Structure formats: C-alpha cells, structure tokens
Structure 1
Amino acid sequence: MMSLWLFLILGSIFMLCKGESGDCDNFSDLDLHECLIGTNLYVRLLLYTRANLECGQELPHHNFTQQPLFNITRPTTFVIHGYRPTGAPPIWINHIVHLLAAQEDLNILVVDWNRGAANLNYFTAVANTRGTAENITGFIQSMEAEGASLDSIHLIGVSLGAHVAGFIGSMLGGRVGRITGLDPAGPMFAGVPPEERLDPTDAQFVDVLHTDMNSFGLRGTHGHIDFYANGGLDQPGCPKTIFSGKSYFVCDHQRSVFLYLCALNRTCHLTAYPCSSYTDFLSGQCLQCEAFKPASCPVLGYDMSKWKDTLLRLGQTRVFFSTTAELPYRKTSYRVDLVTWNQFLRWGVIILRLHSGKNVIESRIDNKLLRFEQYTSTRILAQFDEDLYPIQKISLRIVTGNVIGPRYKIRLLRIRISPLENPDRSLMCRYDIIMEENAEVSFKPLPCS
C-alpha cells in the first residue's frame, strides 16, 4: 500500500512539473534540415514581463487584451532577431529579456520569425523582412486601437532585425518612440535608398551601434546617433583568420549584442565622443563634450534621455569609442596635453605608463607619428585596458626609431593628464623635464597650477 501511495505522489509531481513547463512558450528551435530546404514565414510574439521572466507566453495577434500579463498601458519593447542560418535560437534572448525587465516595468515582446529567417539562402531571409514588418505593424496598429501610445514603443533590432524595425517604423509613419539598431545588416542593404533600410525618419529617435561594417554590418550613418565601437570595424579579441572557424565570421557582428547587454547590465560605462572619424578620435582631436552639457558625452545604453533633445537638434551624430577584448569592455581614457621644445625636428610615437604601487598599466599611442619640433603643443588620447588609482608615478618615452647616431634631447615643458570618464579625479601635471628620445623618464605627478 505504501508503495502505491509513493507511486501516486511521484506521478502527481511529475505531471504537475510537466504541466508547468508545458505552459511556457519557447522560441522556435529548428534543425539544419529545415534550414536546408527553407522555411516559410511564420511570426510569433513571445511575451515576457517581470511576472513571467522564466516563462514566455505566446501572445495572439488578435484578442491579445485577454492575456492578463499584457498591460496595454505599460511601455512595450519589441526584440527582433536577425538571420538564423542554422535555425537555433539566439543565445542572447534570455539575457536581454532579463536586463530589459530590470530597466523598468515593461511588456517585452520577443519577435520570433525564425521560420523565415532560418534559411540557408540569405536572400530569402532578406525577402521575409518585409512580411515580418507588415505582421508586427498590424499588431502595433491593433495595440494603438486599444489605447497604447506609440511614444512608448521601443523596437530593438539585431542585424536583419534592425531593418525589420526600420520597416515597421516607416509603415507607422515614424511615430514609434524609438528604434535601436544593433549592427544593421549590410549585405543587400548597402547603397539602397533610405526607404529600403533603417533610417532616422523611421522613429522619433533612432540609435545605432556598429561593430562589423567591413563584413556583415552596414557602413554609414543611419540614426540620430550612430555609435562606432572601435571604429565600427574589427573588434578586439575576435579572430583575424578563417582558421578560427565560425567565430571568424560572426564574432565582430555579434559583439554589438554583447556590448549592448553589458551596457544594459551597467557593468560597462561606454562613453562615446562625437567625431568625424575613428582616426581623428584616436588622435585626440575629438574629446570635447561641450555640446551636451550639463550632461557628459553620450553613453551607450538604454536610457538616452540626457542626450536625446540635443541629438535631435544636432541632426545625425557620429560618436566613437574603444573597447577591450573582454568583459567589461571599458577602457580607461586620459587626455594628454604635451608642450615640448627641442632644437631638431623629431618624429615618433609615445609610450605612457601609469604606476600605482607595484601595478603598472601601459598605453602605446602609435596610431600615427607625432611631430616634435622647437615649441610644439601636442594633444593625444591615451587609453588603458585597466584602471589604476591613485596614480603615484608616470613614465614617458618618445620612441623615434633612431638607433644610429646621437640621442637627441627633448625638453618637456609641460605634461597635463586629464581623466576623461572620471571628472572627480584630479588633473595630473609635471613641468620642465629634460628627456632623451627612446629613453624612458619617470616622475611623480603634481597638482596642476
């Protein structure tokens, strides 16, 4: 008898657990065979809220107000994936759902158009972007008819999904509140008119992050603000040769998602600076944030309210930042102003080292040769993969490559080092130091007068 009761109890628990998992709707997981033969477009909406973060609920396109978890008065964010050549779900879906829910109380709708995006033929997936956009546009129009405000709708699109978001916004007359494009797809969208890709007119505010413009990403400027991580091209830590396999093809492109996730998680504070090119940014020519005062320069992330009005007034703005190869991706940046005097013209690069106790960090500023002659003022950007504080000693070397003949002396009349992302930290200065080319000189920083 005891065994019978035990069997019944265990059976009941099993059925209960099975029922609970069965109540959750998961993202479509297709096999490679389906991708090879091709999939027909079918769009699903998976609803997540703070009340069901671990258990998505498929939201019907009609009678959606009957779903008690869906609150039409809450802001709604759509997450739209891109091309899925293998049919597997994106690995970042759960992460972005949880991080978005942490920002504010939202309806989070994951747009599952895997049937349509999962095709070995990329051109078929591109053709399906319009149908996907029409489907979601119809749903948003139904939301609006039920009293939802388009101002509170945010579309986040990844790769091809960024253009889907753009098409939705365009079909709605640019009235949606915001579109975020994470490395919008480049193939089949390069050189096309604005109405055939993501464009600033597609929403009240459009922000775009570029990480792979020389391969799968789209070159150019396509939002009210365009963030270019490491110039929008090759990302640190990503493979440089085809022998690395799949990662060689997807790493740079996927980095846009991981940078955005890191920004949502507030573990990366990625400040970007308005500039005409990444080269000019690395040369220290674009480190001014006066246009955004009293705010800082724009920071990648969810909350753009500090900069939105200024960006809409400025028009399309390009902003640049550099990252490390790994989490938390943030570099520590300093603006370095040098005044040198030397009798003979010298060309070289600068190696700057900062010391705190036994710890040392180094920045090699070698993106271009610097000119030193007689009385020269030079501004450079020094970026470090780590942050040290307090700085107890500074080492400087001007490398000219001169290995034959005498070492020329260079007089450093002044060096001023300004922390860019930590304005509460003091400026560091030193005055009147005699140094030789290719030889390191070390000194203790002093308060700037």
Structure 2
Amino acid sequence: MAEAGELRAAVEEWDESEDEDDDIVCIFGSFRQTAQESFEAKKRPKRGGSVPGKAPNKRRDFQARYHRVIEQYFAADPVYNARDFRCRFRMSKRLFLRVLDGVLETDRYFEQRPDCKGDLGIHPLMKVTAALRVLAYADSADALDENLEMSKSVIYDSVKHFIDAVDRKFGSEYLRAPTEEDLARLLEVNARRGFVGMWASIDCMHWEWKNCPSSVAGQFKGKEKKPTVVLEACADQELWIWHANFGHPGSLNDINILDRSTVFDALMRGESPQVEYKLNDNTYSMTYCLADGIYPDWPVFIKPLHQPLGNKQKYFTKRQEACRKDVERAFGVLQARWRILALPCRLLSRLDMNKVMRACIILHNMVVEDNREELGDVHEYLFDEHAVMGPSPEFIVSRRHGLRPRSVRELSEHIVSIENTEAHFKIRDDIIDHLWLYHAGETHC
C-alpha cells in the first residue's frame, strides 16, 4: 500500500510539472506573437497610400492652385508686381527660376509625374514655393495647406529635398573660399575704407534649439540661458558670407569655437591665395579680419582698442567698430530674410539644423550676387568724395603652386606666423597711422 501511495504522489507531481511547462510555453508563445506584431508594425510604412482602414485623400486641386499662382506672379500681366514677388519669395523672379531649374536638375523628387489614375501630381514650382515659404516665413504646414493645397507630409518632404538639392547644386559655388579675383576685389574695396589688407569681418551667431535633447541641454546652454547652436561666419561689406562654420554648442565662447574652426586651415596648409601689399612702407603677406575684443592678438585679426588714448587711437577704434558691423548686418539680414533662423528651432537633429543653415546661407549669397548684378556698384556713396584717399595700395594676389606644406616644420612655421603677436601689433599700429593720415576727414565707413 505504501508503494502504491508513493507511485500516486509521483504521478500527481509529474502532472503538475507538465502543467507548469505548458504555462511557460503559452507565455513564451504570447511573447513571441507580441514581438512579431510589434516588428510588423514597425515595418509597416507610416504613409501607405490608399489602403483599407485609412481615411480617403482630401480633394485638393493641385492644378487649379498652380494656375492661380501662375496668374498671380508669372503671367504676362501678373496680379502682383516684381516688388511683391521679391518680398514674398525673398528673391527676384529671375533668381527664383534659376533655383527652380537647379533643384529640378539635381533631385528627381521635384519632377511632376502622374499617379496610377493618370492624374498629374504637384508641379515642381509649387513644391519649391512651399519650401521657400517655410524657410522665409517659418510657416506651419497647416497654414500653407490652406493656400497651396498641399498636405503636411508633402510640404515637409519638399523642404527636406529642397535644402539638400540647393546644397548639392549651388554649395560649391556659393559657400566657397575667396578666389584670387574675389580676394583682389575685397582688398580693394576695404582699402578705400581705410583698412588696407582687410578681407572680411568675423563673429558668431546663436540659433536657439527648442527641442534640444534634455540629456545634452546643459552642454548647449551658454550666456543665452537656453540651448543654442553657434554659427561662426565671415562676411564682407556686401553681406556675402564667405565662411560658415555651424554646429558648435552654445556653451562655447568665440575663442573655443575658433580653436575648432576651419577658417584658417587653408592658410595653414598654404593653399589660400598668396597676397603681398605695402602699408606705411612695410610689406605684408597676410590678410586680416576685423574682430571684437575677445579674439587673440594674431595678425589675422584687427581688434578695437580697449582703452584708446588720444584722438588717433579713438578714431581707429570708432572706424574699426563701424566697419566690423558688416558681419552683424549680415546676421541681421540673414535672419530677416529667412525667419526660420530667427525663431527657436524645432528640429530634433543638429545635422538637420546644419542642412537648413547651409541652404539659407547659400540662398542668401545668391540673392547678394543677384542684387549686385541688378544694382551695380552701390558703395560709392559710402566714401566722402572730399576725403584725401592717399596713395592707392597695390595688391599682388596669386595662387600658390605645388602641395604645401611639404613638411611638418613648414606647417609649424605657418602656424607660428598666424599666431605671431608681435606682427599683430605692428600691422595694427600701421593701420592706426594710415587711418589718421588719410581718412580722418571721413564721416562714413
């Protein structure tokens, strides 16, 4: 009897363990099914088109809206004149058509193609118009949908493809370093302003990052008390931006950003144009930027005097601060022309912010060039016709030949020449004397 009881207990224990195994199998099976459903949900596209269970497409009339825009701006007798077009598109009609042709040539996304029913899709002119309105006005997709009859997804896709196409098509031309011809023109213009050897002004601008990840928000908070991303730029009197270095955290000051900057890389490598000019009977072979007081005492920077003594130094400081406003005006015009840069950025990626910034700067430079061709030389009024200009300096600008530097020693010599404090004070004193001797009677910069 005892053996029978032990056998019965063993059988019951085995049945219980088998039930537990079945429960474990069921649990793992449900986990597997849930994981499979989650994986399939991730694979499923967010915008699958006309599929069962989705709302029907809104009855947007793309073609009617396109013809209306043509009547308003591009017809032989348009509703709105050229001034209205420039105000709303931020550029002339001639430049807009050039940008339109460029993005069409670069990205097939802008091609107008028929759907499965044979109906033509959105015209490329409408996609480019939507992208420009987002950059120029920082409009929401809902506001543009009401006027352009384009969905939110199409508008944001148009912006994404537009900024990429602008960079690929025009970036190499309008975000380039100055060529020999450019540098000679810049040196001549700035010499007439009294700063012989100057090619641009340098400064930094902050773009607030509203949707900065909280994990790195402290890294991007600086004096603005909010997360920002910094743009370092060099601009000339025409407001052309020659150098743009974007993406640094807002906690860095101008010196920290300069340490990470590429503005003088070509000069260190010996790849920039070679310049030679005379100032107060001294020969110089290095151009400079106007900068504020935080920058180091290098010959590539000319800064205002912190405590000027005498009328000569006071006049130099006043003229330096006035001419350095070139880069400040460039930042102001850039943000006014492309309002998206003046408002807190809602993008989640710093890479996307960089793409937007590059596209806006490229378009800004294209507008500057277009205005130059349309208006001609508009800087004559900036110079006093009764001022004594003095001897016109001669600039010898040439391109270096061969690969440089040829050794680490030569690279070190280039770096030492850029950071030579003694050379900085020498050229600064010569500029002070030159300004006082030939330009003290001028009232404008």
State the TM-score, normalized to the length of structure 2. 0.25
Q: Which has the higher contact order (CA 8 A, sep 6+)?
A: 2
Larger Rg: 2
Judging by fraction of residues, say which structure has more strand: 1
